[in-house]
Amino acid sequence: MPRKIHRLFIFGWLCTFLRQTGASYEGVRILVVEDERSAARMIAKGLREHGHAVDVVGDGEAAVRLAADTTYDLILLDLLLPVRNGLDVCRDLRARGIAVPVMMLTARDAVGDRVTGLDAGADDYLTKPFHFDELLARIRALARRRALPLLPARVECGRLTLNTRTQEAFVDGEPIDLTAREYALLEYLCRNEGAVISRQEIAEHVWDNRYDPTTNVIDVYVQRLRRKIDREPESFIRTRRGAGYQLIGVHAVSR
């Protein structure tokens, strides 16, 4: 397929994807290994819009290095890559005992390539060009098989309710206008309701490699969330000095 048309296809999938609200898995950390920059950018953008933390690399060597250093929930791995191809990457990860679920993305559709990919340790195989909905459906299926964190469609934390399919939050039934990142942060805190969550944990699950630990971006986001969800005189999110944050939803607590 000519490059331009290929890009248009990807853009089409992205638009459809953004209109759809079918993903019920929570924000997971995904490594996208794709050397075609526009495709990588669009896949990453789409996944981020959905609250996932996404890192992108363009060659196989960098992919192995990152996957060895970072705990990913899923790797989307292109087959044809510079430096080391996807099969080589997959074999290397498995040889190192890294059991992260791997989905191969490739322009090839020959049965032999699929078999080789699966034999190399991939969990699933998706032929490009693919529909973004199919990618999402396969991620969900993989999440179920590999016990990736899954959320019910509706999460209740006291007066706070989340619809994880539409990524909407409600306080006392009133919708709250949140950005994708604010929603992902809130969902992560709700999922760990009552537990004290460190900034490090938040960074790992809600941000990605673009997170800069020298900034106070997490605190800024927590403040924004509080402004949006708190109803005086009550606050959902407690600051635990030196430890992190704690969401108390059951009886939204006094400040």
Q: Which residues of the chain form contacts with Ca ion (CB under 5 A)?
A: 35, 78, 80
We find the least distance from the C-beta atom of residue 16 to Ca ion, in angstroms, to be 23
User: In 3D, which of 231, 255, 236 has the Cα closest to residue 247?
Assistant: 236
We find the least distance from the C-beta atom of residue 223 to Ca ion, in angstroms, to be 41
We find the least distance from the C-beta atom of residue 6 to Ca ion, in angstroms, to be 11
CB-wise, 80 or 83, nearer to Ca ion? 80
**229: how many CB neighbours lie within 10 A of its CB?**
22
Q: Which residue has the tokens 């933390």?
A: 53
User: In 3D, which of 100, 84, 94 has the Cα closest to residue 121?
Assistant: 94
CB-wise, 80 or 248, nearer to Ca ion? 80
- Report the residue count for the chain: 255
We find the least distance from the C-beta atom of residue 42 to Ca ion, in angstroms, to be 14
Q: Which two three-digit tokens encode residue 126? A: 């998706």
Got the DSSP string for 83-122?
A: SS-HHHHHHHHHHTT----EEEEES---HHHHHHHHHTT-
CB-wise, 59 or 187, nearer to Ca ion? 59
Task: Kindly provide the residue ranges of all beta strands, DSSP E only, lying in 116-230, ordered along the sequence.
Answer: 124-127, 154-157, 160-163, 168-171, 174-176, 196-197
Residues linked to residue 156 through DSSP beta bridges, in sequence order: 161
We find the least distance from the C-beta atom of residue 49 to Ca ion, in angstroms, to be 23
CB-wise, 35 or 133, nearer to Ca ion? 35
We find the least distance from the C-beta atom of residue 98 to Ca ion, in angstroms, to be 21
Q: Please enumerate in sequence order all residues whose Cβ is within 8 A of that of 179, keeping only pairs 6 or more positions apart, or say none.
A: none
Strands 196-197 and 29-33: unpaired
CB-wise, 52 or 128, nearer to Ca ion? 128
CB-wise, 57 or 202, nearer to Ca ion? 57
